[in-house]
Structure 1
Amino acid sequence: MHGKVGDTFRVTLINDGTMNHSIDFHASKVSPQVQMRQIKPHESLVYEFKANYAGIWTYHCGADPMIHHMGNGMFGAVVIDPPGLDKVDKEFVFVQSELYLGPNGKEGDLKKMMAGTNDGVAFNGYYNQYVYSPIKVAPHSRIRVWVDNAAINEDLAFHTVGTIWDTAWKEGSYVPRKDNPDHGGMQTLDLQPTQGGFVEFTLDDPGAYTFVNHKMRDLSRGGAGQFIVGNPPTTGGH
């Protein structure tokens, strides 16, 4: 979901499952006992809130045990643009999560979640999907990437190889912003679980620019992807 400061969101949650569920929008200021309450199977809930603060906000199921519901994919992101947000050529949203595989065709493994022993990480739900299907962009395009860490246990050190971010936003403020007097740039957006932000940059030369979770263990286990610019060289790079 994507809006701007001042927008009202109205979401209807319908429980067609066999267990209790709920929803918690971190972008909202509401009574948890009213709008975040658990709803039983075959019940529904209308969740309404006004977006008073900018950023990228996690939402998730909060039913017990919360770690099991989130660990099985019951999460997402809401983007609320800050006022005066600059125009860009391309805009993307990456949500990091973890994989705790259970038996084939069954839900994720709660014991693994509690122990923090995941089987891999993913951007937007699929292991290495942007390695297998890279994102193509034109040279010199100005790109904004919103990043939300919806992982239940892992932090995220988001980095793009071969460029420097001239603009970044983390948890409510710019750090830094384009054309700042100190000529400051940023290399890594560090996010704890449920934190978020965005980065802006250009990719000027032909190449394959890898974006990663620079936490090396997770980079090697699904936390990577690529932007493809033009016809990249066949050697060198990451």
Structure 2
Amino acid sequence: MRQQVWTYNGTVPGPLLHGRVGDLFTVRVINSSDMPHSIDFHASQISPDAAMRPIPPGGELTYSFRAEHAGIWLYHCATAPMIQHLAMGMYGAVVIDPPTLAPAEASEVLLQSEFYLGQGGGVPAMSQLLAADPNLVVFNGYANQYRSAPIHVRAGARIRLWVLDAGPSEPSAFHVVGAQFDTVFKEGGYQLRPGNAVDGAAQELDLQPGEGGFVELTLPQPGTYPVITHRLADAERGAMGSIVAGS
């Protein structure tokens, strides 16, 4: 089955932007479609009046902002109805590293989002979107892609997984089967770091739509470790994959 999508730069999700606190981002958006679109960077602190205005067909906009805070930030089309533009694929992520972020041997970015399939592959009905009952829930634009093409790491390597829930409506309960997180960074702050007073660990990174963070973990034994949202109905809709740890 084929499904129409709307995109930034021809991909769902759109391009990943990566920087540090203090970096200046300047993004030129050209609307080559036949309908108005826009862009809203959650990584910015800027008046929406001009920067997030609808760009008419054939028009363009230059959006500049300085990254003031660390995190993984959603960007998306903000043209009404916003739920439709986001559900059709107009979203992406900006990763801003915390200033003291230690190196990791492996690092991946995973965006969870939903697909609503329209009749004949066309635009889904608004009633379908408002019911928040998606046909597919995916990581990085494809259902089950990391089952067919697992993420490969070295057993014993320190792994960082940036995770963002792009929505538009479903929460995420990110979990790696057979592993525990010794570091959890969510929405601007560390919830857990190695060597904490109670020597604890975490099993899940819980995210509402529009929220993000990262976890760090080590897979001490070679093997295949499933990656899922523990909202299991959404895992069965495609939000699952695997990390293969090799010796």
TM-score, normalised to structure 2, is 0.91
Structure 2 unaligned spans of 5+:
1-16
Taking the TM superposition and a 5 Å limit, the aligned residue runs for 1:41-80 are: 41-80=57-96
Query: Structure 1 residue 94 and structure 2 residue 107: aligned?
Result: no
Q: Percent identity?
A: 49
Q: Partners of 1:180 and 1:86 in 2: how far apart?
A: 17
The answer for the alignment partner of 1:137 in structure 2 is: 153
Query: Structure 1 residue 112 and structure 2 residue 128: aligned?
Result: yes
The answer for the alignment partner of 2:39 in structure 1 is: 23
The answer for the alignment partner of 1:164 in structure 2 is: 180
Q: CA RMSD in A?
A: 1.1
User: Which residue, out of 190, 194, 208, partners 2:210?
Assistant: 194
**Deviation of residue 43 (structure 1)?**
0.5
The answer for the alignment partner of 1:234 in structure 2 is: none
- Please give the secondary structure, in 1, of the residue aligned with 2:107: strand
**Deviation of residue 178 (structure 1)?**
1.6
Structure 1 unaligned spans of 5+:
232-238
TM-score, normalised to structure 1, is 0.94
Query: Structure 1 residue 210 and structure 2 residue 218: aligned?
Result: no
Pick which of 86-95 and 97-106 moved more.
97-106
- Please give the secondary structure, in 2, of the residue aligned with 1:175: strand
- Please give the secondary structure, in 2, of the residue aligned with 1:217: helix
Paired AA for residue 175 in structure 2: H
Query: Structure 1 residue 224 and structure 2 residue 243: aligned?
Result: no
Cα deviation digits, residues 159-184 of structure 1 (max 9, x gap)? 10111111110001111012223212
Query: Structure 1 residues 26 and 125 mapped into 2: Cα distance closer, same or farther (>3 Å)?
Result: same
Q: Partners of 2:179 and 2:42 in 1: how far apart?
A: 31
Paired AA for residue 201 in structure 1: L
Paired AA for residue 229 in structure 2: N
Paired AA for residue 95 in structure 2: V
Q: Partners of 1:12 and 1:172 in 2: how far apart?
A: 27
**Deviation of residue 81 (structure 1)?**
0.4
Q: Partners of 1:26 and 1:85 in 2: how far apart?
A: 21
**Deviation of residue 116 (structure 1)?**
1.1
Q: Partners of 1:117 and 1:173 in 2: how far apart?
A: 31
Query: Structure 1 residue 176 and structure 2 residue 192: aligned?
Result: yes
- Please give the secondary structure, in 1, of the residue aligned with 2:167: coil
Query: Structure 1 residue 34 and structure 2 residue 50: aligned?
Result: yes
The answer for the alignment partner of 1:236 in structure 2 is: none
